[in-house]
Structure 1
Amino acid sequence: MKKMDDIIKFRICPLRKLHLLMAEGGEDGLQSASFLTSLSERPKRCVLKLSYVASASSIAALSERFYASKNISDQQRTYLYRLLAVRFSCVVSVVMANPEPVVAAREMIQVNPVSRKPRILLAASGSVAAIKFGNLCHCFSDWAEVRAVVTKASLHFIDRASLPKDVILFTDEDEWSSWNKIGDSVLHIELRRWADIMVVAPLSANTLGKIAGGLCDNLLTCIVRAWDYSKPFFVAPAMNTFMWTNPFTQRHLTAIEELGISVIQPVTKKLACGDYGNGAMAEISIICSTVRLFLESRNQQSS
């Protein structure tokens, strides 16, 4: 993880700096809280959502590190929630110092855990990391209803037989074949209405650029363009190191984060191409835990 001087040196946008600081978790987020003083011109909803997911991501990593070998007990889960609250509270206190309301009531996820499971729309774009998509679907389907959306390029890497039997897979062909006349349902709108949360993992450099530019030339990007951004949206980028550090990537990340999309940071490891560096998709357990911690914590607040 880059330190503060490195972040400034490479001129990463302010929200990206905040995300990296929160994920690093230095001094329980105190550095992040002080840094928020320079973000007054940014949409407060974006600042809160981005810093929260970075906090959740770091806590998920902590959970994986200490509790990976056994199931997490209720007591341990409570501890993690408290740790998440401490790390995030510094950020909240700074943002809330402004009397302007920062989180509208409509942004709360309206999910009744008694009546049904949360609905997750899980999407994959054309990265070699899509070979893990089946495992990712299994991880989420353990506690949520899952529907899958895949691009044409991602199908080169996805084994359909690896998907859970109860997960419906939608492709670009389904977008067009499901509509015949005026009055028929539009698939990308129906999927957007159905979902409580959207997760794109992996997010390729190409699809990142499309989302940042507002393009909508396939089922996945049509859903994104029509998305209700009062609902959570996560992406887990996966690309070569030089693609990840390309200046266009930083511009695109800035654009999608200002929409309210939360980025689960890639990791440094040996990549599929043989290079060693940053850009590999985050571990499946981290992606799943980050989303689940975010959702459960928000549901606790709303109740």
Structure 2
Amino acid sequence: MVKETGIRIALISLHGLIRGEELELGRDEDTGGQTRYVLELARALSEREDVDRVDLITRQIIDDKVSDDYAKLEEPIADKAYIVRIPFGPKRYLSKSKLWPYMEMFVDQCLNHFQRTRTVPDVIHGHYADAGYGGGQLARLLGIPFVFTGHSLGRVKRQRLEESGLSAEKIESRYAISTRIEAEEFALETCSLICTSTRQEVREQYEQYENYIPERMEVIPPGVDLSNFRAPREDDEPSQLVQDVRRFLYQPDKPMLVAMARPDERKNLEMLVKTYGESPQLQREANLVLIMGSS
């Protein structure tokens, strides 16, 4: 196989529902911001001149309860970027905590895909603990660099769940938390680079891990695609969403402070409401609007 001039990148994000358009954000706890993040990352990386191809590798799902889109083995999402769906485990949609028994199968199936299609990547970037384990195994077998982004961490989650009063037995049965933490330790041991969002994440979250090596960590603050936004124009017709929201406001012409998230305690929406409620200045100058999906 002749090596092309640019590099090939494999992004791995295994759980949830990933497709190129009309993302089902907020459908459940597995279809949150990571879904949007990896999709936009794949497209952005593919625009670089030194990149030949980006594959966003996820799980193939064949299930009457979800769209047929998630059964397609390959889906182009940009000129040099594709979603690649690998079949492993049961065909039906599974929550991320149910994927752990099938991770070795994913590694085998992914190796078969690389060999069959001759698309062996030059670097693998795993997102979340499941892809941290699977991507780390693949990188070791292929002898290529591995990058890891945790997005959230099992040790931190376990600590918060214990503080909320949930027993260790329930935490383990519901979240397979020990398996997740072991996968994260493996990913941290294996990777050449860890992408984090904040310095707090480096100091107070990753520091809880045995394989904590801060020299490998790079803080890349989350961004936003500004092309999705513009200032309002005088001739704009109010959308149905705006009309629906205004019905609940006493002074609807005031600017809005908007937060959009699942109603999950980890989103810290309670603190946002508390801060707004304790600030007469904020209450005078703006309305607080929370847009939340189902929990």
Higher relative contact order, structure no. (Cα contacts within 8 Å, ≥ 6 residues apart): 1
Greater CA radius of gyration, 1 or 2? 2
Please tell me the TM-score bracket, short chain as reference: under 0.3
Task: Looking at secondary structure, tell me which structure has more helix per residue.
Answer: 1
TM-score, normalization: structure 2?
0.27
Q: TM-score, normalised by structure 1?
A: 0.26
Compare the two structures and name the one with the higher strand fraction.
Answer: 2
